[in-house]
Amino acid sequence: MTNRKLALDDIADARAYERERDAFREHVKALKRKRRIEVGPFVSVVFENRDTIRFQIQEMARVEKILTDEGIQTEIDIYNPLIPEPGHLCATLFLELTSDGDLRLWLPELVGIERSVELRLGEGEEALIVPCIPEAAHEAQLTSEEITASVHYITFELTPSEVEACAAGPVVLAVNHPRYSYDVPLGEATVAELLGDLRA
C-alpha cells in the first residue's frame, strides 16, 4: 500500500464521508489492532499510515464541521508529516492517564518521554538501536521543561541495513525514561505493517 501524502481531493466531503464512514472506521480499527502497541501500564504507541491519518482528518472535519477547502487543507498540512516516507516510521505516543490525580502526578515526572522511545532490532550485543525523533512542528507546541503533554508525535529514521534488521527480527519497542522503563516485542503482524511503511 502506498503512503503518499494526502491532498485535498483525498478528503471526502461531509455527505460522501457519511456513506463510507462505517466501513472505513472498521478498516481503521483493524489496522490499529496491528499498529497500536501498549508499552507498560499506561503508554501506548500507534504507528500511523495514510489511512489512519486520513481517518483522523475526516473525523475531525466531521466533529468540528470543517467544510471549506481552506479548513481541510490546514488539517492536511498539520497531519501529513505523520504519514511515513520510505525508510521512516511515524507514530503517536499516548500517555493513557485518565484521572486528574494521575495527570498531576505523572505529567511533570515524564518530561522528555517523547525522546525516550526506541526500536531494538535483533538480539543481544548485536542489536541495533533506533531512537525516536520528536516531530518538529508538534514538538514546539507540546514540550515544556516543567510538564509534558499526554500526546506526542514521533518518527524513526531507518537506514537500509536497519530495515533489513527489522525484517530479520526480533523487533522490540522500548520506552527508556528514568521514571518509566518498559519494552515489548512486536508480533509478526505488526512487523509486517511496519515493513510495508518502510518499503513503501
Check residue 141 and give its pLDDT: 64
In whole angstroms, give the CA distance from residue 193 to residue 77.
Answer: 24
Within-domain flag for 121:
yes
Residue 117 lies in a domain: yes
> Grid cell 471526502 — which residue?
12
Q: Which three cell numbers stand for residue 56?
A: 483522523
CB 50 within 8 A of CB 2: yes
Whether residue 75 lies inside any domain: the answer is: yes
Give the SS3 label for residue 192: helix
**What is the pTM assigned to this prediction?**
0.92
Report pLDDT for 136. 75
* Pairs from 20-25 (Cβ < 8 Å, separation ≥ 24): 21/58, 21/62, 24/55, 24/58, 25/55
**2, part of any domain:** no
> Is 1 part of any domain?
no
In this prediction, residue 15 carries a pLDDT of: 94
- pLDDT score, position 3: 75
Is-contact 20 12, C-beta < 8 A? Answer: yes
Q: What is the mean pLDDT of each run of 10 residues along the chain (200 residues)?
A: 85 95 97 97 97 96 93 94 95 95 94 95 92 80 78 96 96 97 98 95
Residue 146 has a pLDDT of 87
Residue environment code for 104-124, b if the CB has 16+ CB neighbours within 10 A, otherwise e: eebbeebbebbbbbbbbbbee
- Residue 151's domain comprises 8-198
Cα 172 from chain centroid (whole Å): 16
Give the total number of structural domains in the chain. Answer: 1
Supply the pLDDT for residue 140. Answer: 61
3 in a domain, yes or no?
no
Q: Is residue 119, in this structure, part of any structural domain at all?
A: yes
